[in-house]
Amino acid sequence: MGKPTGFMEYIREVPADRAPLERINDWNEFHLHMPDEDLRTQGARCMDCGVPFCHSGVLISGMASGCPVNNLIPEWNDLVYRNLWSQALDRLLKTNNFPEFTGRVCPAPCEGSCTLASIDPAVTIKNIEVSIIERGFAEGWVVPVPPAACTGKKVAVVGSGPAGLSAAAQLNKAGHSVTVFERADLPGGLLMYGIPNMKLDKRQVLLRRIKLMEAEGITFACNTEVGGSEFPAAKLRDEFDAVIVTTGATLPRDLSVDGRALKGVHFAMEFLTANTKALLSGGDDFISAKGKDVIIIGGGDTGTDCVGTSLRHGCSSVTQLEIMPRSPDERAADNPWPEWPKTHKVDYGQEEAAAKYGSDPRAYLTTATGFDSDENGAVKAVHTVEVSWEKNDKGQFVPKPLPGTEKVRSAQLVLLAMGFLGPEQPLIDSFGLEQDHRSNIKAEFEKYSTSVPGIFAAGDCRRGQSLVVWAFNEGRGAARECDRYLMGSSELP
């Protein structure tokens, strides 16, 4: 490293965010950017650690440790410190097709396993990553790079989410003719409609990349549902030499309690998708939280996004029910480095809610037991109870209701953000694909070939609900194996 003692001389600094009470009045991204000199200082904190766990990309205790796309983090940190931004961009793009996405929405498992993080705050890897790619766009270094030669092979990618985009980008580099099929009106999948605009700007960031991919020769066929009557799976197989299925895990987990069918009770993705569509179109066809008491059932990023979106609508109040206990402020003894740190975090949505209402909106160890109706068949209240986690007769921890902790909470909008069960069934049936015990498409990791020759699967539809960066990893891997299937060998990483 150019500054071997930098980690001892400089403290961790991250760019300031826009003030919470200011940013809830618009849909613009809330992160600000740091001056180049400050970024160089942060790059100097990268240690000459010998074994850089930050780019290991492995699973420890079922959690990501290090970067799943194996970013060459120490190399581009050092290049930023040396003010060699173009070379840093070259290193970054060797492993990551879309650093402008991961630099905004990835939870940064690289920082959790940073060697410096074993004794001090981690290097600000995520912020340096997004700064490199944005510098590249600003300087005109990021330009379309069509393949030098074409193979004559045609590949269909079904689903334009993170896995689909990375698979398409890699296959296009190999010279194949790639068409990405998307049932929605715009490409991007989860990146377009699952993540709100204040975290990932659709026009300035996402569609900027889509236009670049189109300029490189990739075709996006939107409003096209493969497996349906208008475009049956057999037609796709007839017209293409290979298929990669990257449809994600879009089947939401439901809540079977009294009143579930009431008006005003929605899955989180219904709420988030309709909001982004209305934002892009300028229309008003969305589920509004304005003037309502909102209760969000479930934590994680989706729950946080519902909090932030509700606040921007102008809700009267927002409460987030978390069935799990509050995480400790510091790593627990059974959660050692370089595991992902299971520590308490205040994300942007909770920060905004606290700024507006005076407290964190999360109610821990709490679950919903039923919904009350008003005279019009709409939800008016949520019954909740606190729980404790105890072992059952099989030795499994399960939530047990605590008598005397019942509450009735006012709510005119309830959002279910409890995760996803797996991929939707119709497309799987139309291709005749074998599934595993969790209902995901059966395809071995690193091979990605399904039970049907010539059809590959990658991303959440194969591994289950996971991180965006794991989807990028799988899309790249599936592209490599698809290329090998078509050509006999592959030079794709």
The per-residue b/e assignment along 325-361, b for 16 or more CB within 10 angstroms, e otherwise, is eebeeebeeebebbbbbeeeeebbbbbbbeebeeeeb
pLDDT at 131: 98
> Is 182:219 a contact under the CB 8 Å cutoff?
no
Look over the chain and give the mean of its residue pLDDT values, rounded to a whole number. Answer: 96
Alpha-carbon span 460 to 280, nearest angstrom: 26
Contact present, 140 and 156 (Cβ < 8 Å): no
**pLDDT score recorded for residue 229:** 83
Query: What is the pLDDT, as a whole number, of residue 224?
Result: 96
CATH number of 254-418: 3.50.50.60
Q: Tell me what percent of the chain is helix, strand and coil, each rounded to the nearest 5.
A: 35, 20, 45
CATH 3.50.50.60 domain locations along the chain:
154-250+421-487, 254-418
The answer to whether residue 28 scores a pLDDT higher than 90 is yes
Residues of each domain in the chain carrying CATH 1.10.1060.10: 6-139
What is the rounded distance in angstroms from the CA atom of residue 53 to the CA atom of residue 60? Answer: 12
Which runs of consecutive H residues, i.e. helices, occur in 317-409?
348-357
Say what the pTM is: 0.96
Which residues are CB-neighbours of 362 under 8 A, at least 6 positions away? Answer: 299, 320, 321, 322, 326, 350
- Dmax (CA) of the chain: 71
Q: How far is residue 155's CA from residue 254's CA, in Å, rounded to a whole number?
A: 35
Strand partners, 455: 243
CATH of 154-250+421-487, one of 3.50.50.60, 3.40.50.2300, 3.40.190.10, 3.10.20.30: 3.50.50.60
CB 467 within 8 A of CB 107: yes
pLDDT at 231 over 80: yes
Q: Which of 47-51, 344-348, 414-418 has the lowest mean pLDDT?
A: 47-51
| H runs (alpha helix) in 26-72 | 36-44
6-139 belongs to CATH 2.40.30.210 = no
